Amino acid sequence: MIINGVTIDPTFAEAFPMKGTRIIITAHNTKWAMISAQAFTGFATSVIACGCEAGIERELDPSETPDGRHGVAVLIFAMGGKGLAKQVETRAGQCVLTSPTSALFAGVEGETEMALGQNLRFFGDGFQISKMIDGKRYWRIPVMDGEFLTQEKTGVVSSVGGGNFLVLAQSQAQALVACEAAIEQMRKIPNVIMPFPGGVVRSGSKVGSKYKALNASTNDAFCPTLKGQTKSDLSPEVESVMEIVIDGLSKEDIDKAMRVGIQAVCDLGAEHGIRRISAGNYGGKLGPFHFHLQEIMA
């Protein structure tokens, strides 16, 4: 398959099941809601070392938030419900409770529920107040700028992590421009995040390493400086490879995001140095979700 001079490899991205939730952070204005959301989603690129994968889904208009204020929707994913709950509680306590004018709400109904502000209430030292509204419990916690309002629980949904595609280009600059174009379009798709910095990862990994202490190591087959030292998957003209990783609330959400992202790269085409689109997989051994590139772009 060739689109605008760009070869779409006959391969698939391999993804795995995760647990996820959406939270809504509101504040006095968008600036402060975004500051809190950025802090909440810090150091959350990969479960390999961060414990979770998180990102900002989109800004919310006051008409879309529970308290009628400016807000930001955040998605966060982990390998299991217990790990997810720990990450949400820790990050909420350190990054939302502490942020001026903030409030915190559930953003999704799930198969199960977990604590959101349920344990944060203890920071109120006995002065916290509980309110039930439409069958949902909220906590008002006194803080120095007034009070922190938080919903007690949020939903947990079965999700998908690790959808991906690789952009193979003639130069580093061309690969980056292509990925930026892809991310711009992918951020318009709901229910997904691209958790790496700016949505792009240059240090794609493979499972395992020559060093026993490491579970993952550099994907040498796609490293241009190793063409003569390893079994390379790169042709001579490819000098840079970048990867976009996608987490989503469903397989269908990731399908949509991959489609618009790959199309944005192909719209630039061979004229702008883009040679191939490929994907990372481990022979089907890592996870049950397989995103076949040519089927997605058919």
The two domains 2-14+159-297 and 19-157 share their CATH topology (first three levels equal): yes
CA distance 244 to 163: 8
The pLDDT value recorded for residue 7 is 98
In CATH, 19-157 is 3.40.50.2300? no
| Domain 2-14+159-297 in this protein, CATH class | alpha beta
284 confidence band (pLDDT: 50, 70, 90): confident
| Helix, strand, or coil (residue 84) | helix
Residue 210 has pLDDT above 90, yes or no: yes
Instruction: Write out pLDDT tens, residues 165-193.
Output: 999 999 999 999 999 999 999 999 999 99
- pTM metric for this prediction: 0.95
Place 242 in a pLDDT band, splitting at 50, 70 and 90.
Answer: very high
Burial of 221 (0-12, 13-18, 19+ CB in 10 A): middle
Q: Which residues contact 283 (CB under 8 A, 6 or more apart)?
A: none
Q: What is the mean pLDDT of residues 287-297?
A: 97
Residue 282, helix vs strand vs coil: coil
Domain spans of the chain, in order of start = 2-14+159-297, 19-157
Looking at per-residue pLDDT, the higher value among 83 and 283 belongs to 83
The residue-averaged pLDDT of 268-286 equals 92
**Amino acid occupying residue 131:** K
- Is 21 within 8 Å of 114 (Cβ atoms)? yes
Phi/psi at 59 (5° precision) = -80, 150
* DSSP-assigned beta bridge partners for residue 78: 19
